[in-house]
Amino acid sequence: MSTHDEERVKELLRQALKPVESEPESSRDLWPAVLKRLDEPSIQVPWFDWTLLGCLVGLAAFFPASIPVFLYYL
Amino acid sequence: MNTHTYLRAYLAGIFLPTLVLPLLLIFVVVRLAYHVPIPVEQMLIFPMAVVPLLWGLWNMLWLCSYPHLHQPIGLHGAVLPLLLMPMGATLASALGVLAIGSHGVVWFGVCSVPYTLIAPVFLGALAGYYLVWKYIVGFLNRVLGIA
């Protein structure tokens, strides 16, 4: 293959294959959404649930015989 | 990930009760090794065989009924003791695990629960089930993509 042929093949390949462009960027900035997600508390426990948990712990503390009964139903 | 949703709901439901099983097996090992004269096997039938099954089915029922009722999973779980406690007490009484005395009921031959404390214990079970279903089963349902 002569030099001329090689140049011709290269030219044909350039015409057939489009140049690879870099990945287009997102139309909006995602960093504020990431920061907002990081600032969100993982779980929010309402006061009512804390009260229930406290009552349960109190019941088990003042009446330990209830613990095996609870385990029986778990 | 929209396939086998009921299977995933069942698996999420049985997760916590099956975690308790190894703890219960300790009692079996202690009984066999040290010949403790307490019928541990009879005690374990309900928590090992019935409770996990009902938890799984109850979570499947929640998944099935949620599009129509939109009930919170915590409240749905808090209803389960209304079904479980009579069943467990009936089975325990039949197997000799629960004895009814003059001042209260005696669990496992050692844990005496006076009649005046049955209501608080029952309310405690409702509260415990509410919390466990809201935070643990609800979390598992989200992880498995069904909530």
- Collapsing DSSP to helix, strand or coil, B114 comes out as strand
Model pLDDT, residue B107: 76
Q: Which among B68, B77, B53 has a CA at the least distance from the CA of B138?
A: B77
Name, in order, each residue with C-beta under 8 angstroms of B89's C-beta and a sequence gap of 6 or more: B98
Distance from C-alpha of B21 to C-alpha of B53, rounded to nearest angstrom: 13
Q: What share of chain B is helix, strand, coil (3-state, %, to 5)?
A: 75, 5, 15
Query: According to the model, what pLDDT value does residue A41 have?
Result: 66
- Averaged over B105-128, what is the pLDDT? 82
Of A59, A68, A70, Cβ closest to residue B120: A59
The boundaries of the domain holding residue B98 are 5-143
pTM score: 0.73
Chain A residues whose CB is inside 8 A of the B27 CB are none
pLDDT tens digits along B55-102:
999 999 999 998 888 889 999 999 999 998 888 888 888 887 788 877
A53 vs B108, B112, B131: nearest CB: B131
pLDDT < 70 positions in chain A: 1, 20-27, 40-42
pLDDT of residue A21: 63
Q: Is residue B1 predicted with pLDDT exceeding 60?
A: no
Q: Say if the Cβ atoms of A69 and B17 lie within 8 Å.
A: no
Report the DSSP pairing between strands B98-100 and B104-107: antiparallel
Nearest CA in chain A to B47: A72
Which strand (E) or helix (H) includes residue B87?
helix B73-95
Determine whether the interchain pair B131/A49 forms a contact, defined as Cβ–Cβ distance below 8 Å. Answer: yes
Among residues B39, B31, B20, B1, the alpha carbon closest in space to that of B132 is found at B20
Which pLDDT score, from 0 to 100, does residue B14 have? 93
How many other CB atoms are there within 10 angstroms of residue B100's CB atom?
10
- Window A:42-61, CB contacts with B under 8 Å: 43, 45, 49, 52-53, 55-56, 59-60
SS3 B103: coil
Helices (H), A1-74: 3-16, 31-39, 47-62, 66-72
Q: Does residue B109 contact residue B48 with C-beta atoms inside 8 Å?
A: no
Both tokens of residue A18? 């489009």
How would you class B56 by CB atoms within 10 Å of its CB: exposed for 0-12, middle for 13-18, buried for 19 or more? buried
Total of domains in chain B: 1
Most confident of A37-41, B35-39, B40-44, B71-75: B71-75
